Structure 1
Amino acid sequence: MGGKRRGVLLAALVGAVVAFALGYLYWYGFRAPGEAVKPEVVGVELSWGGVNDSVTEVLARVVVYNPNPFQIEVKRVTFDLYMNGLRVGSGECGGYALAGRGNTTITLRGFLDNEKIPEWFVSHVSRGERTEIRVSGVAVIDLKLAEASYPFDKEFTFKTDLLSGLNVTEPQEVSLGPLVLFLKELETRWGSVGPEGVEVNHKLVLFNPQPLPIPLPVIEYKVYVNGVEVGEGSTRRIVVLSPGKDTVLLFTTSLNPSFLSRWWVTHIRNGERTRLVVEAYSTVEVAGEKYSFEVYRLEKLIETNILGGLRP
């Protein structure tokens, strides 16, 4: 009897082992347990949330596939946001459950420090208007008997061409009271770039069709982004426009990076749209009368999609 009972128990044990093995292969296939447990990020989408004077909310919509037949608890996710190597923001979230053998969408929430924007902008311009964005973090998963940490890292690039619309190649008429000048050319390009400021260099060509020289005391100019004044300058010397000739003026606009945090808030609130305005004006004296006039006024709509380059 004893031997028969042992045989029955042994058969039951073998059957259980076989059943477990078959079940394991059914669920996991011929893979290692650690590999089978690891979830996979199959989709990532970043977007901006709320924004105030101090911070900008960053929302990450992440689609995670769990290959296991059971639910997995995500205890926490921490991540950092870098722009050209500068850590500009971070976030920490937790309390997510990944459904077994399926996709689960989770939303992560972090904040970008607006005070980092001036330093980032300097790096963006110095790299040819190019920014490398990196999202780096770690997810901690509860495996009941232990915790497992899964690091993740995503990179993408975005570029701009901010000065492309600030050039004049076709002559434009400029009125000086009873007189007329012609703005023949305006060339704009980046100058020196550093922590103390960003410079924009201008080459201006004015043609004087009048039979007499016209003294131009000073040309003053200002730069606005969404109504925020971020730069100004002047020629700082008297220029005489010779009759019937072109006069070339070289001058520089200095952008104050400290104002860029205010601009950033308006840019994000406007759906990443900025209206850039450059104004130049002067005052001349003709026959004893002083006339203030606009040398030129240029407008450009700048649209960006900073977070749109991220893909799984």
Structure 2
Amino acid sequence: MGIGKVLGVIGLIVFLWAAYLGYTLITLTPQIRAEWGYVDEKTIELDVTVYFGKPLPVSINIEEADLYWAGIKVGTLKDLKVGFLKDSARGVLVLKNKEIVEALKEHIRNGEQSNIEIQARGSIFGIPIMRGSFSKPLETDLLSYISNITIESSGDLIKTPAIEGMPSKWGKIDENGIEILSDVKLYNPNPVPLPLFGIKYYIDASGYRVAQGELIEKVVIPANGGGTAKIRTIVDTDILPKVIAEHIKKGERSEVTLKLTLAVKVLNREMEMPLPEIKKTVETNIIEQLNLALS
């Protein structure tokens, strides 16, 4: 066989391979599935599997894919390899809890609006020619969880004030924590006014004290009437990595308790009035939502 025929055969093989590769990529319907891996207060691992639905006639190595949230690098996917004529690939996405908290702060600073971006680089048949990125917007309304809190009045002779809502807004955000400023809507069912000179306010999650608040200024709640108490709450961001880890370890389930005690003056006597605790079970489906978003 002459050299021309050999080159022709090689060219035909390359053409058929390129045509099949093009057809495969065009008709590809990949599905990405993630599962929780190792979790502690420093890192969270996600075991990621990509199903292509058909064998790929190419060898691809995603050397590294960086995950950014609100412009902050929060994780890295390493060693996602697609073997020649393989229909799936596996890799591990390692998230850094501390960086996630910093990204959360930036997300809040931007009005709870940010982007989640993936920047990837890799090679085909060992040739480093792959580089790309894609992003998705993220919007949240985190304060809605506390803004709608209500607590009924209780007691016999002197009843505790009822809470009829806690409209809130974000305050100062720095390395020491996240500040929340709330207007606590109170109703006094008693026939005498209640001068309010202090508030003890705590939020516990998974056994950790996540936040605590205090009264900003004194207020008098009129008899059989309503008033507004302004409080400042500080979220301890140093404890959040532990809370996040415990939440995931318990199957994305956390027990959250809100404790609130009012310091009031009744008939010239100072006294504390603990309000009924609010206990809620917070459940999330992060993995399910992530898999739906990636599929």
Common fold by TM > 0.5: yes
Confirm or deny that 1:192 pairs with 2:168.
no
What is the DSSP-based 3-state SS (H/G/I as helix, E as strand, rest coil) of the residue aligned with 2:144?
coil
Out of 214, 224, 231, the residue aligned to residue 244 of structure 1 is: 224
Aligned-pair CA distance for 1:16: 5.1
What is the DSSP-based 3-state SS (H/G/I as helix, E as strand, rest coil) of the residue aligned with 1:247?
strand
For 1:233-259, what per-residue CA distance to the aligned partner results, in whole angstroms no more than 9, with x for missing partners? Answer: 221555433323322211121112222
Aligned-pair CA distance for 1:185: 1.9
Q: Aligned pair in 2 of structure 1 residues 199, 220: CA closer, same or farther (>3 Å)?
A: same
What letter corresponds to residue 246 of structure 1 in structure 2?
G
Out of 92, 102, 125, the residue aligned to residue 78 of structure 2 is: 92
Q: Aligned pair in 2 of structure 1 residues 304, 127: CA closer, same or farther (>3 Å)?
A: farther
Cα distance in 2 between the residues matched to 1:19 and 1:157? 49
Q: Which of 1 and 2 has greater Rg?
A: 1
Identity of aligned residues (%): 19
User: Which residue does 2:123 correspond to in 1?
Assistant: 140
Aligned-pair CA distance for 1:86: 0.4
User: Which residue does 1:174 correspond to in 2?
Assistant: 154
Is 206-215 or 49-58 further displaced after alignment? 206-215
User: Which residue does 1:105 correspond to in 2?
Assistant: 88
The gaps in structure 2 that reach 5 residues or longer are none
Aligned-pair CA distance for 1:108: 0.9
Cα distance in 2 between the residues matched to 1:233 and 1:227? 18
Is 154-163 or 131-140 further displaced after alignment? 154-163
User: Which residue does 2:46 correspond to in 1?
Assistant: 58
Structure 1 stretches of 4+ moved >6 Å: 35-41, 287-290
Q: Is the 8 A contact 1:280 1:297 kept in 2?
A: yes
Cα distance in 2 between the residues matched to 1:131 and 1:273? 25
Cα distance in 2 between the residues matched to 1:57 and 1:231? 27
Q: Aligned pair in 2 of structure 1 residues 23, 254: CA closer, same or farther (>3 Å)?
A: closer
Cα distance in 2 between the residues matched to 1:47 and 1:152? 24
What letter corresponds to residue 240 of structure 1 in structure 2?
V
Output the aligned Cα RMSD. 3.6
Q: Is the 8 A contact 2:203 2:212 kept in 1?
A: yes
What is the DSSP-based 3-state SS (H/G/I as helix, E as strand, rest coil) of the residue aligned with 1:115?
helix
The gaps in structure 1 that reach 5 residues or longer are 1-8
Q: Aligned pair in 2 of structure 1 residues 257, 23: CA closer, same or farther (>3 Å)?
A: closer
Q: Is the 8 A contact 2:147 2:168 kept in 1?
A: no
Cα distance in 1 between the residues matched to 2:132 and 2:263? 60
Q: Aligned pair in 2 of structure 1 residues 209, 28: CA closer, same or farther (>3 Å)?
A: closer
Q: Aligned pair in 2 of structure 1 residues 129, 232: CA closer, same or farther (>3 Å)?
A: same
Q: Is the 8 A contact 2:184 2:228 kept in 1?
A: yes
